[in-house]
């Protein structure tokens, strides 16, 4: 039996989710505590700490950790451990005045109107929100969905260690997909995998995703298709539909002994390069040795260059992570090659021309993206068969056919192949 990669920080998984009698007693105690409402982002982060995905964090960050995390990717309270994105909890300033340092509070999920955990408050502090946005998102534009969330959060952050008493609706709603790191590691060990590539997904799996996964399987023992089942921005396809579509593709087009599916409960931050690093941190905790990093990983709009998420792995200290990026070039279907290809392998540079009925009219490269797929589906336009498998298209068509309120999906340059680097 081969050994698995160590969790981030080099120790064991740090799971803050209480079990059995301890959970029941903490839930009973928490009912009498002052309640702190959480956003969906904070709820997801709390659960990630609970299940050990954010090992070795013990709670929401204090001011010094927040600032160092923004500026130097490090946590002073943990011997300058590498960490790329702040994990914080905020409240409105007026409400913060009723909470004392040293007090225990209940952590309340406003979406489900339920108690998910407790925190011992060790610090209250204000932050420079624009500084966080500049460092993490590289922009202060409020139209950026991640920036909008930071600017919209409460004025005061609360810090302190947490105890988690619930994983909310995720284990039941996404039964068979939602996984804790220990469960994923057990599945890898059962198959005697020691090299595992994680494929990050927030969209239904089109042929470029599948192509990346097949390449990863060629160089690793297996691939972990790890999909986000938390909150996305308006216009993205909801988690339950994505899970169904991905399941349909994987079950028919992958060897079952070389792929494992999983889901995790975070919100997308759309932080591009910084979020790619966070994806690497918690994928290492899940037991993955590699993270597939393709075009515009965790990006949105034109805020990041198409390969900035790959470049950032070269900018961090070499010992920051044990996990390594598996960097992939832009992939597409080439009509000249008659197969999926990439910028590194395909010599045919002309862009494929597809008419409004989905018919091929010439050219070589059909560039695939989740944004373009959503736009075609939302407008009821035919999707070329080279774009995605028919089982996936059928599921998405059913979703869009029954969608009461249509959302306009805007194409950015990187979704169409027009970039400053490749015009």
Q: Would you say 278 and 84 are in contact if contact means Cβ atoms under 8 Å apart? A: yes
How far apart CA 416 and CA 316 sit, in angstroms, is: 30
Please give the full DSSP string across 195-220, using - where no structure is assigned: -EEEEEESS---HHHHHHHHHHHHHS
How far apart CA 418 and CA 27 sit, in angstroms, is: 53
CA angle 189, 21, 102 (to 5 degrees): 100
- The total of other beta-carbon atoms located within 10 Å of residue 171's CB is 16
Please pick, among 41, 180, 202, 295, the residue that the annotation labels catalytic. 202
What's the mean pLDDT in 205-232?
A: 94
How far apart CA 414 and CA 85 sit, in angstroms, is: 24
* Contacts of residue 318, Cβ cutoff 8 Å, sequence gap at least 6: none
Which residues share a beta bridge with 291? 198, 325
How far apart CA 194 and CA 288 sit, in angstroms, is: 8
Mean pLDDT of the chain: 93
How far apart CA 305 and CA 270 sit, in angstroms, is: 13
CA angle 160, 200, 385 (to 5 degrees): 155
Give the right CATH number for 20-167 from 3.30.450.270, 3.40.50.720, 3.10.400.10, 3.60.21.10.
Answer: 3.10.400.10
pLDDT beyond 70 at 14: yes
Architecture of the 169-264+270-423 domain: 3-Layer(aba) Sandwich (3.40)
- Residue at token pair 């709670």: 59
Question: Which range has the worst mean pLDDT, 1-10, 175-184, 372-381?
Answer: 372-381
Res. 32 pLDDT band, cuts 50 70 90: very high
CA angle 93, 95, 98 (to 5 degrees): 115
- The total of other beta-carbon atoms located within 10 Å of residue 122's CB is 15
pLDDT in tens, 338-379: 999 999 999 999 999 988 777 899 999 998 877 777 788 888
CA dihedral 45→47→49→54, nearest 10 degrees, is -60
How far apart CA 375 and CA 86 sit, in angstroms, is: 32
Note the pLDDT of residue 415.
47
Res. 7 pLDDT band, cuts 50 70 90: very high
- Give the ranges where 19-111 is alpha helix by DSSP (H): 20-30, 40-51, 63-72, 93-96
Selection from 181, 128, 262 nearest residue 12 by Cα: 181
Q: Would you say 150 and 269 are in contact if contact means Cβ atoms under 8 Å apart? A: no
Selection from 209, 280, 266, 344 nearest residue 50 by Cα: 266
How far apart CA 180 and CA 163 sit, in angstroms, is: 16
Which residues share a beta bridge with 197? 223, 290
Told to judge if 203 belongs to the known catalytic residues of this protein, a careful annotator would answer yes
Note the pLDDT of residue 422.
39
Q: In the chain, pLDDT over 70 holds for what percent of residues? A: 96
* Contacts of residue 182, Cβ cutoff 8 Å, sequence gap at least 6: 13, 15, 51, 52
Instruction: Domain ranges for the chain, please list them.
Output: 20-167, 169-264+270-423
Which stretch of DSSP H or E encloses residue 283?
Answer: helix 273-286
- Give the ranges where 52-197 is alpha helix by DSSP (H): 63-72, 93-96, 129-137, 145-152, 170-173, 181-190
Please pick, among 157, 203, 207, 285, the residue that the annotation labels catalytic. 203
Res. 408 pLDDT band, cuts 50 70 90: low
């Amino acid at each position: 039996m081969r050994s698995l990669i160590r969790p981030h920080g080099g120790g064991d998984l740090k799971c803050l989710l209480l079990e059995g009698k301890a959970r029941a007693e903490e839930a009973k105690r928490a009912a009498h505590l002052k309640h702190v409402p959480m956003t969906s982002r904070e709820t997801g982060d709390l659960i990630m700490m609970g299940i050990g995905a954010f090992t070795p964090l013990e709670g929401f960050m204090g001011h010094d950790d927040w600032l160092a995390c923004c500026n130097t990717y490090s946590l002073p309270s943990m011997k300058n451990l590498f960490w790329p994105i702040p994990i914080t909890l905020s409240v409105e300033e007026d409400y913060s005045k009723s909470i004392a340092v040293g007090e225990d509070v209940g952590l309340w999920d406003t979406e489900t109107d339920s108690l998910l955990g407790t925190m011992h408050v060790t610090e209250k502090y204000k932050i420079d929100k624009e500084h966080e946005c500049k460092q993490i998102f590289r922009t202060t534009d409020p139209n950026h969905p991640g920036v909008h969330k930071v600017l919209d959060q409460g004025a005061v952050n609360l810090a302190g260690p947490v105890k988690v008493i619930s994983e909310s609706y995720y284990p039941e709603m996404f039964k068979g997909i939602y996984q804790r790191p220990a469960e994923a590691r057990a599945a890898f060990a059962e198959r005697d995998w020691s090299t595992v590539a994680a494929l990050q997904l927030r969209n239904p799996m089109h042929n470029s995703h599948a192509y990346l996964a097949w390449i990863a399987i060629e160089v690793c023992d297996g691939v972990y298709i790890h999909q986000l089942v938390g909150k996305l921005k308006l216009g993205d396809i909801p988690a339950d539909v994505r899970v169904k579509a991905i399941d349909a593709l994987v079950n028919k087009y992958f060897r079952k002994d070389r792929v494992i599916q999983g889901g995790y409960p975070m919100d997308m931050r759309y932080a591009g390069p910084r979020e790619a690093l966070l994806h690497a941190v918690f994928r290492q905790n899940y037991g993955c040795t590699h993270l597939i990093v393709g075009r515009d990983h965790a990006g949105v709009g034109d805020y990041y260059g198409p390969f900035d998420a790959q470049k950032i792995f070269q900018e961090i200290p070499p010992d920051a992570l044990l996990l390594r990026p598996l960097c992939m070039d832009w992939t597409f279907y080439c009509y000249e090659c008659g197969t999926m290809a990439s910028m590194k392998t395909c010599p045919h540079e002309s862009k494929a021309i597809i008419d409004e009925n989905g018919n091929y009219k010439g050219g070589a490269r059909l560039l695939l993206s989740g944004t373009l797929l959503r736009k075609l589906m939302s407008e009821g336009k035919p999707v070329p068969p080279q774009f995605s498998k028919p089982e996936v298209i059928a599921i998405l068509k059913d979703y869009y056919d029954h969608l009461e309120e249509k959302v306009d999906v805007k194409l950015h340059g990187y979704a169409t192949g027009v970039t400053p680097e490749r015009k």
